Amino acid sequence: MRANGRGPAYGPPVMQAVEWSGPERTRARPGEFAADSLYLRAPSARAERRVADVDPDTPGTPVHEADIGAGAALMDDRHTGEAYDLAGARR
């Protein structure tokens, strides 16, 4: 897929199948889910009483699952054919 989200997908087979399926769509592409972040950090928080970052050299911006749905609900026909990368609060 091109950087602007338009054009054919040359990525994973599932993405190709969605792109080639026909109907126009708006793509909301979340990165790291907040629930996943909690799942990954909870064991060390409980055991060591500290929060260990999975990869401190690559800061993430987890987005809450409810925010993904809220963002998608705001997208109307004016956004058809676009792709939006979703992220949580910036650090």
Q: Name residue, tokens 């699952």.
A: 65
Residues 7, 15: Cα–Cα separation, whole Å: 12
Quote the pLDDT of residue 25.
81
Write out the two tokens for 82.
Answer: 């676009």
* pLDDT at 54 (0 to 100): 64
Is the pLDDT at 4 greater than 70? The verdict is no
Position 1 scores a pLDDT of: 39
The residue type of 62 is P
- Contact between 52 and 41 under an 8 Å Cβ cutoff? The reply is yes
Mean pLDDT, rounded, for 76-83: 86
Is residue 71 predicted with pLDDT exceeding 60? Answer: yes
For residue 7, is pLDDT > 60? no
The first and second tokens of residue 7, run together, are 């054009």
Element (H, E) at 34: helix 34-48
Residue with tokens 């609900």: 73
Q: Which among 70, 73, 64 is positioned nearest to 31, based on CA atoms?
A: 64
Distance separating alpha carbons of residues 53 and 72, to the nearest angstrom: 29
- Tens digits of residue pLDDT in 32-55: 888 887 788 888 888 998 876 667
Domain boundaries along the sequence of the chain: 13-86
